[in-house]
A and B are shown apart, each in its own frame.
Chain A
Amino acid sequence: MQDSIVRLEGASKAFATPEGGSVTALDAIDLQVRRNEFLTLLGPSGCGKTTLLQAISGFVELDGGRILIDGEDMTDRPPYRRPVNTVFQNYALFPHMTVGENTAYALEVAGVAKAKRREQVAAALKMVGLEGMEGRRPRQLSGGQQQRVALARAIIARPKLLLLDEPLSALDKNLRQAMQIELKTLQHELGISFIFVTHDQQEALTMSDRVAVLSGGRIQQLDTPRAIYDHPVNSFVATFIGASNLFDGRIDGDRLMAGDGTAIHHRRNQSTASGAATALIRPEQFFLAGEGEPFPTLDVDLEAIVFVGSTFELFGRTSAGKKVIAEIPAGRRGLIGEIERTRRARLAYDPAAVHLIHPCAEA
């Protein structure tokens, strides 16, 4: 098992609620994080992702299961004896210390000599683009700069694993995107595994080698961003990642007959299973059907046409009343003008792009 840096075996945790009940935060989770991997824990609030992170850092004691880091059992070790550092959501910089003292803290605790400490602090601050800021106080820095100090502080002692608890959520959009790329680069340079917690699916898709989608204390799906987007295992994952059109029905040959009578074509060899299934069509997989369209189509009455810059978003309903979202590249304005007049659109799709979700994989 030397290719995994972290290994969770049946990690379980339940919290008591004030009403006397209990909430399962982690439901027997098995997870392996590979060496040098950027893994993202993605899920809505309350899905257990933060609990999972805190179980790894040692701030949450498991009810059951084990945690191994680099082959060593960490289950009963306190946070200060684990080779893991965390970048906290609100940075948690020590306000009474300078940037340099903050960054040096882990080294100071480890008893590293002062001269060497200064050297490493300078190197770490350089790495995050804050050269020469040692003497500043945290409150003199902008949010983005504080974020970088938190990062430098967490990586300076070269932990085996870096945990990031929604570190970008407090930054504005542009800065967030810049930091996403920087984090990814930093992770490559350092060569240590990152576990990144977020509820922002865009962030998860952009940065990760693999994404674990969590819900109800379980890992719903653990895969590469593309696999998760293109082949979600259940409708929770399908709706949580990106926008989606889901059609529940029964498979009938190369068609899926939805309950409301709509027929969705799919590529036959995609699945040999028959019976109940859900078909997923992503909004961007729709296009406006031309004259004598060879691909299968879906007629919708449009309720709204929203211009979002690079695309138009069409919100409509099928004749059976099913809601459909489609995304049309904004380059094709001529066609948009047409459908804006008629408020009707014929949406075509490639059956090969239709993904079938089988109910056995539902959580």
Chain B
Amino acid sequence: MSIASRRRVQLAVLLGPVSLFLAVFFLGPLAIMMVTSFLAPGLYGGVEWTFYPHNFGRILGFADPMFEDFDPVYIAIFIRSVKIAALTVLAALLVCYPAAFCIARLSERWKNFCLFLITLPFFTSLIVRLFVWVLILRQTGLVNEMLMSTGMIARPLDLIYTDGAIILGMVYVFIPFMFMPVYASVEKLDWTLVRASLDLGAGPIRTFWRIILPLTAPGIIGGAIIVFIPALGNFVVPAVLGGAKVMMLGNLIEQQFLAARNWPFGSALAMLVMSVMLVLLLVYVFASSRRGADAALNR
């Protein structure tokens, strides 16, 4: 056997299990969902096996003209989901970026300790952690009790079941996802370049915009995508901290599958969310592969 063909066999053996797993448990369900999104909903759940493109029309507000009027409610939910996910990304970045700089400058021991602390939340259940936020934010919760007992407010504030509470909860959940890529690029930052910039007459602010930010941008973009994608489809946080008032795409999909039992429409929504994410990922992969090609060329 030639070396090349032996390589090929080795590769097949190594990649075989993961390929099989993904084909059966990822591509399979994906295909089922795709087909379902083009079927008509059954009267009592399930599907009718007829081609029915109106699921997508309904998302855009133009539903089956026989039954419904123009109603952009789903577009509104989509927009608010994107808005909340984007704000989550922004807030998480504002928390993680400065922290990454602090931690990157610590000694090796403290660095590892801080990284451990950041991954610590993974060790407890997400639901439990979110309900702790309910205890903190609710009308008779920790924050309101404290503010009232110090006399700063007379009546409890509406903290929970707001957009703010959802963003807070999401930032809390997604901080490790933002922190890791941001930290990786901040730690790699070559401080002599910062020195060179200062030496050449650029003040701290200009040095930040011209040197530090562009050089850490890959981590920021990576973190933003990794947070934005699950934030857009998240339904646990809005369910717990958003109450019934605040609807996001994730809840909508969950509701279509479980409560409304309209699988085709739920599938269509899921396809929409997925295609948005796919576009984002493709943009990122394209941009970073061009950078990679650049780096390879430059070597």
Contacts and interface: CB of A to CB of B under 8 A. Distances in A.
A105 B200 contact: yes
A142 to B, nearest CB: 12
Nearest to B199: A86
Contacts of A307: none
A105 B298 contact: no
A336 to B, nearest CB: 49
Contacts of A79: 195, 198-199
Interface of B: 190, 192-193, 195-204, 206-207, 210-211, 214-215, 294-295, 297-299
Contacts of A57: 199
Given A92-B196, A106-B200, A157-B201, 13 more contacts: A59-B198, A59-B199, A80-B200, A80-B207, A88-B195, A90-B192, A92-B192, A92-B193, A93-B196, A105-B200, A105-B210, A106-B201, A109-B200
Nearest to B191: A92
Contacts of A86: 195-196, 199
A92 B190 CA distance: 8
A78 interface: yes
Contacts of A109: 200-202, 206
Given A105-B202, A110-B201, A157-B201, A94 B298 contact: no
B215 A80 contact: no
Contacts, number: 67
B199 A157 contact: no
Contact of B215 (A84, A88, A96, A105): A96
B22 to A, nearest CB: 36
Contacts of A92: 190, 192-193, 195-196
B299 A139 contact: yes
Contacts of B201: 80-81, 106, 109-110, 157
Listed from nearest, the 10 A-B pairs whose CB atoms lie closest are: A139-B298, A92-B196, A106-B200, A92-B192, A79-B198, A109-B202, A109-B201, A86-B199, A80-B198, A96-B214
Nearest to A84: B199
Contacts of B192: 88, 90, 92
A93 B200 CA distance: 12
Nearest to B214: A96
Contacts of B204: 80
B165 to A, nearest CB: 39
A153 to B, nearest CB: 7
B149 to A, nearest CB: 46
Contact of A153 (B195, B200, B207, B215): B200
A137 interface: yes
A139 B296 CA distance: 10
Give the one of A59, A78, A94 with max B CB within 10 A: A94
Contact of B196 (A81, A94, A139, A157): A94
A337 B299 CA distance: 51
14 contacts: A57-B199, A59-B198, A79-B199, A80-B198, A84-B199, A85-B199, A86-B196, A88-B195, A92-B190, A94-B196, A94-B197, A106-B200, A139-B299, A140-B298
Nearest to B298: A139
